[in-house]
Structure 1
Amino acid sequence: MQFKLITLLLIFGAFTLQAQIQTPQPSPSATVTQTIGLSEVSVDYSRPAVRGRAIFGDLVPYGKVWRTGANMRTKFTTSTKLKIDGQELEKGTYAILTIPNKESWEIVFYTEYQAGGAPAKLDDSKVALKLNAKANAMDMAAENFTIAFGDLADGVSGNMYIMWDKTVVWVKLETPTDEMAVKSIEKAMAGPSANDYFSAASYYRSSGKDLNKALEWVSKAVEMNPDAFWMSRQKSLIQADLGDKKGAIETAKVSLAASEKAGNDDYTKMNKASIAEWSN
């Protein structure tokens, strides 16, 4: 019995030791993030090394789909829509798949990014964007596979470089910076929206701040969006908190009519209950 116990302890100790062993990955993971104008672009990928091997046309065959790195597929994420070499790509996350050839590469932004190796064949329904990029020779070899951003121009565009061994390809990324900036300016110049006034008033009421200020803001919200029964409901509650039950009842009736018209039973019930309470 004692021998069996000692044996089990030794086996458990061996597994514990094994679980604690850590070794470096041969193709370490990396993340590169770049802000271009008002857009943020990031790439998550693995970085295999040359290690004296022949790369393109050998380790990475010409004419076949490549995961563009090692381990999991290289993942490309953009916070806004982009133009890549003139073609539009919607905001989101994609796999960067490539088909290297001696003179040029096909670069594919693929919707199925949560996978390991490259697909044997591209599914056209998952191709968000496809383009060709010239394969250029580098004077100095890149030992580790590298993706980088550069040539950032006036906050509106930049290049994404894919480099390994003595080969580099790149694509131009253009962001909707001007469009986004103009929309932001127009929104700011137009002043707060009904939702902004409503949110501010709701916060002031719930946190016990200046109720007169909250009433001013919620009144503006109701004026801008008179059919929003939840806004007039909030106004009635603020009026009641301020001791103006007559005004609260009048506002609650407005919210009641709007909630009944919208078919919202919850607000209809709440308004009726409040009107009954404040009428006593």
Structure 2
Amino acid sequence: MRKIIFCAFMFLCGLQIQAQVKTPHPSPGATIEQTVGLTEVTIKYSRPSLRNRAIFGELVPYDKIWRTGANENTIISFSDDVIIDGQTLPRGQYSLYTKPGKNNWDVYFYTTTNNWGNPAQWDESNIAVSLQVTPLTLPFKIETFTLSLDNLSNSGAVLGILWENTYIGIPFQVPTDKKAMASIEDAFNGPSATDYFEAAVYYFEQGKDLKKAAQWVDKAIAMQERPAFWMLYQQSLIQHANGDTKKAIATAKESLKAAKAAGNPDYVRLNQHSIQKWETME
């Protein structure tokens, strides 16, 4: 009996030894994954909070290299070459370092990413791209350090740095048009209805050759036994953009009928709006 009790006691002690205390991390990690145009952008960083502390000029000194976050250095990666401040940043991953100042911040995309915080030895040759940005003063405080990817468009976005009452915006451009055009050219070696349709929509949305867009969307529709309501809707927009309002109205009515049959209220409203608007132009 004593042996059984002893074994049970030792087992419970073993469980206690293996147990780990879990508490919230003061600077929790975060990951941002965002598609910008056709380029994948990923950011991994840690997020410290104010906690009633003065940050810039105090906790984060002016005119000193900062890891731009907490714990390990912040890492940003791009799946394509991007343009930042007129400079080409090759595809890959980089440490994001900054040097906050009262009037301007220096921003660095640094090639080594295995640093804990700042590099033990700062090496200018590891700076892939650097630029200077003027900070904006916010009318409110941001409690937790935040990185963001905003103002998204097919051609680029803005990398934002926000903390305390400071905002830094770093615009960058992505090679969407180059990649899309290459994809269109490759697809046209044996295009499907989807290839024609997506090419037409891209040309329409980017304000390229609208006559080509019309030709391609017509081919896409012709290749379908029963064209989908969203394809007909885009065809109507392209027809209207080419000045053929009567045909656009007729196509929108086809799309409306198909959207009602499919039970899609969003496209029902979109087509009704187009028809009402275009009929007043007739």
C-alpha RMSD of matched pairs (Å): 2.1
Q: Distance in 2 between matches of 1:142 and 1:156?
A: 28
Q: Which residue of 2 aligns with 1:182?
A: 181
Q: Percent identity among equivalent residues?
A: 40
Contact 1:67–1:74 (Cα < 8 Å) also in 2: yes
SS at match of 2:49: coil
Q: Render the CA deviation track for 1:209-261: whole Å, top value 9, x for unaligned.
A: xxxxxxxxxxxxxxxxxxxxxxxxxxxxxxxxxxxxxxxxxxxxxxxxxxxxx
Output aligned runs, 1:186-265, within 5 Å: 186-191=185-190
Contact 1:95–1:111 (Cα < 8 Å) also in 2: yes
Q: Which residue of 2 aligns with 1:147?
A: 147
Q: Render the CA deviation track for 1:152-191: whole Å, top value 9, x for unaligned.
A: 23x1011110000001111111011111111111212234
Corresponding letter in the other structure for 2:174: T
Runs of 4+ in structure 1 displaced over 6 angstroms? 1-7
Output aligned runs, 1:9-28, within 5 Å: 11-17=13-19, 19=20, 21-28=21-28
Q: Distance in 1 between matches of 2:120 and 2:15?
A: 43
Corresponding letter in the other structure for 1:151: N
Corresponding letter in the other structure for 1:185: I
Cα shift at 1:11: 4.8
Q: Which residue of 1 aligns with 2:265?
A: none
SS at match of 1:183: helix
Q: Which residue of 2 aligns with 1:48?
A: 48
Q: Which residue of 1 aligns with 2:73?
A: 73
Q: Which residue of 2 aligns with 1:138?
A: 138
Contact 1:47–1:69 (Cα < 8 Å) also in 2: yes
Number of aligned pairs? 189
Q: Distance in 2 between matches of 1:88 and 1:47?
A: 28
Q: Which residue of 2 aligns with 1:238?
A: none
Contact 1:99–1:105 (Cα < 8 Å) also in 2: yes
Q: Distance in 2 between matches of 1:145 and 1:94?
A: 19
SS at match of 2:188: helix
Q: Which residue of 2 aligns with 1:257?
A: none
Corresponding letter in the other structure for 1:75: I
Cα shift at 1:8: 5.7
SS at match of 1:190: coil
Q: Render the CA deviation track for 1:39-67: whole Å, top value 9, x for unaligned.
A: 11111111100000010011001111111
Q: Render the CA deviation track for 1:5-25: whole Å, top value 9, x for unaligned.
A: 7886565343123x2x21111
Determine if the alignment matches structure 1 residue 116 to structure 2 residue 148.
no
Q: Distance in 2 between matches of 1:188 and 1:150?
A: 31
Contact 1:65–1:119 (Cα < 8 Å) also in 2: no
Corresponding letter in the other structure for 2:70: A
Q: Distance in 1 between matches of 2:175 and 2:8?
A: 68
Q: Which residue of 1 aligns with 2:172?
A: 173
Determine if the alignment matches structure 1 residue 129 to structure 2 residue 129.
yes
Corresponding letter in the other structure for 1:141: K
Q: Distance in 1 between matches of 2:133 and 2:33?
A: 22
Q: Render the CA deviation track for 1:51-110: whole Å, top value 9, x for unaligned.
A: 000100110011111111011110101111100121110111111011111111111111
Query: Normalising by the residue count of structure 2, what TM-score does the alignment of the two structures yield?
Result: 0.62
**Larger Rg, first or second structure (1 or 2):** 1
Q: Which runs of 5+ in 2 are unaligned?
A: 192-282
Contact 1:65–1:121 (Cα < 8 Å) also in 2: no
Q: Which residue of 1 aligns with 2:33?
A: 33
Q: Which runs of 5+ in 1 are unaligned?
A: 193-280
Query: Normalising by the residue count of structure 1, what TM-score does the alignment of the two structures yield?
Result: 0.63
Q: Distance in 2 between matches of 1:102 and 1:126?
A: 25
Q: Which residue of 2 aligns with 1:222?
A: none
Corresponding letter in the other structure for 1:157: G
Which region of structure 1 is more displaced relative to structure 2, 122-131 or 163-172? 122-131
Contact 1:32–1:42 (Cα < 8 Å) also in 2: yes
